A and B are shown apart, each in its own frame.
Chain A
Amino acid sequence: MATIGAKVSEIARGIHQIFLPLPMRPSIVNVYLVDCSGDWALIDTGTNGQESLSALEGALGQLGITFDRLGAIIMTHHHIDHCGASAELQRLSGARLYIHALELDRITRTIAFAGSAGPTAQAREFFLRHGFPVDRYGAQALRPTWLDPRLYQPSVRPDHLMADGDIIPVGKRRFEVIWTPGHAPGHCVLYLSEEKVMIVGDHLLPKITPHVGLYPGSVANPLGDFIASLEKVQQFDVALVAPAHGGVFHDHRHRARQLIEHHRYREAEMLDLIRKRPMNAYEVAQQIFGSQERPTFHILAATFETLAHLEYARLEGRARAYERAGQVVYQCS
């Protein structure tokens, strides 16, 4: 494997941020290699693409180690850029694999979706009920182009299923698991209390607002979970935040509050629309995110992020929903 182009930066003593290429936007995912004195830990894996695996191998080379030094691979959640290469890395390294129990089911579903010809009958019905005109866009267009089964090869046999509050010992370090559902139902951040470093996956990104959507098979209130997880991480004492996209930053509480404010604003915008007249999630999304030409997958994501907002508002009594001609419409009075 070619090992050129690996980018490594030591963000805290023995904690290295590795930039791995992605076939989409954002175009880079950061994974973290942590020297635990003896054993090493890898947080997130990148995709299973050749370019990404070579970059990771190059990074290990720069640090003077090989795959077999990895003792643990811990994944923050099931998405392609976070666990796409876990089967291959498990094979190459023999490391113990950790992921939250709720992400295993999402892995199975994502593998099935990546290899399918289109949405299931159940998913189609769900889309139509929320006003998303699935037939106008075509089944193939619903799948993002980067969800390539070759790039998504996660292991379906992790060694440990993580739960909130678990401590994962690796060498001399102790990774505390903090369950932060929202972006994914079993999303976890990893906290090193002695070092005051928090490796946050996609929970707290410095520039981007993480996508939180309500899809077929989702939990009832993913956005409510996300907001609660943003409150939760503020209880920890953190000096350095290590995100999966973008640079490291310091003030995790400031960023968490900002994301909460952003969602409050978005909800206010949506409630303003459905105060005037009842609308389904697709109609609201067209107004909020715009109806310009863009990849179908983005329109889908906007619709189901909007649905997450509308359901959050409904469950908290700020909006109500009812059936109209086979569709669910939301109203705020």
Chain B
Amino acid sequence: MVEKTIELIGVSANSIEDAVQLAISRAAVTLNGIHTAQIANVAATVENSRVVNWRVTVRLTFIVKEQLHE
């Protein structure tokens, strides 16, 4: 078995958790079987001394499945 990892940055206006979930949801549009999200970095965008966005870099791991072509 081989697994593959991709790195994405999820951006949420609300929280770190929401940013992680958004990155996973976007990846799931084209990928099946994502089983782990490793948080590689957390940053916040600041404007006028306020956090406006959470930017979370996540490494998503999924199993590379064999494709059956009929």
Interface on A for B, CB 8 Å cutoff?
250, 258, 261-262, 264-265, 268-269, 272-273, 275-276
A275, closest chain B residue (CB): B14
Shortest CB distance B69–A (Å)? 9
Provide the bound-state CA to CA distance between A125 and B28, in Å. Answer: 38
| Min CB gap B59→A, angstroms | 19
**B 6-21 contacts with A by CB, 8 A:** 12-14, 18, 21
Min CB distance A260 to B, Å, is 9
B25's contact among A258, A264, A275, A276, by CB below 8 Å, is which? A264
Question: Cβ of B25: which chain A residues have Cβ within 8 Å of it?
Answer: 261, 264-265, 268
CB closest chain-B residue, reference A251: B70
Q: Provide the residues of chain A in CB contact with B22, threshold 8 Å.
A: 265, 268-269, 272
Q: How many B residues touch A, CB cutoff 8 Å?
A: 12
Chain B residue numbers with a CB within 8 Å of A261 are 25, 28-29
Main secondary structure of the interface of A (DSSP, over half): helix
In this complex, the member of B13, B21, B30 whose beta carbon has the largest number of chain A beta carbons within 10 angstroms is B13
Query: Which of A258, A262, A269 gathers the greatest number of chain B CB atoms within 10 Å?
Result: A269
Chain A hits for B12, CB < 8 A = 272
Q: A250-B70, A275-B13, A276-B13 are in contact. Are A268 and B30 (CB under 8 A)?
A: no
In the bound complex, what is the Cα–Cα distance between A273 and B29 (angstroms)? Answer: 20
| Complex A-B, nearest 5 residue pairs according to Cβ-Cβ distance, in ascending order | A276-B13, A265-B25, A261-B29, A262-B29, A265-B26
B interface, CB within 8 angstroms of A: 12-14, 18, 21-22, 25-26, 28-30, 70
Contact of B13 among A250, A264, A265, A273 (CB under 8 A): A273
- Chain A, Cβ-Cβ closest to B52: A276
Distance (whole angstroms) from the CB of B24 to the closest CB of chain A: 9
Sample of 28 A–B contacts (CB below 8 Å): A250-B70, A258-B29, A258-B30, A261-B25, A261-B28, A261-B29, A262-B29, A264-B25, A265-B22, A265-B25, A265-B26, A265-B28, A265-B29, A268-B21, A268-B22, A268-B25, A269-B22, A272-B12, A272-B13, A272-B14, A272-B18, A272-B22, A273-B13, A275-B13, A275-B14, A275-B18, A276-B13, A276-B14
Q: Which of chain A's residues has its CB closest to B13's CB?
A: A276
Q: How far is B26's CA from A34's CA once the two chains are assembled, in angstroms?
A: 39
- List the A side residues contacting B14 at CB < 8 Å: 272, 275-276
A276 to B29, CA, bound (A): 25
Q: Give the nearest-CB partner of A258 in chain B.
A: B29
Residues of A within 8 A of B29 (CB): 258, 261-262, 265
Bound-complex Cα distance A276 to B19 (A): 13
Q: List chain A residues, Cβ under 8 A from B13.
A: 272-273, 275-276
Q: How far is the CA of A293 from the CA of B51 in the complex (A)?
A: 27
A113 → B minimal CB distance (Å):
33
Give Cα A264–Cα B22 distance, bound, in whole angstroms: 10
What separation, in Å, do the CA atoms of A250 and B12 have in the docked complex? 36
CB distance from B19 to the nearest CB of A (A): 8
Beta-carbon nearest neighbor of A239 in chain B: B70
Most buried by A among B25, B29, B70: B29
B21 / chain A contacts, CB cutoff of 8 Å:
268
Cα-based distance from A250 to B22 in the complex (angstroms): 29
Q: Which residue of A lies closest to B18 (CB)?
A: A272
Please name all residues of chain B whose beta carbon is closer than 8 Å to the beta carbon of A269 when the two chains form the complex: 22
Taking A268-B22, A272-B18 as known contacts, 12 extra A-B pairs with beta carbons closer than 8 A to each other, sorted by chain A number, are A262-B29, A264-B25, A265-B25, A265-B26, A265-B29, A268-B25, A269-B22, A272-B12, A272-B13, A275-B13, A275-B14, A276-B14
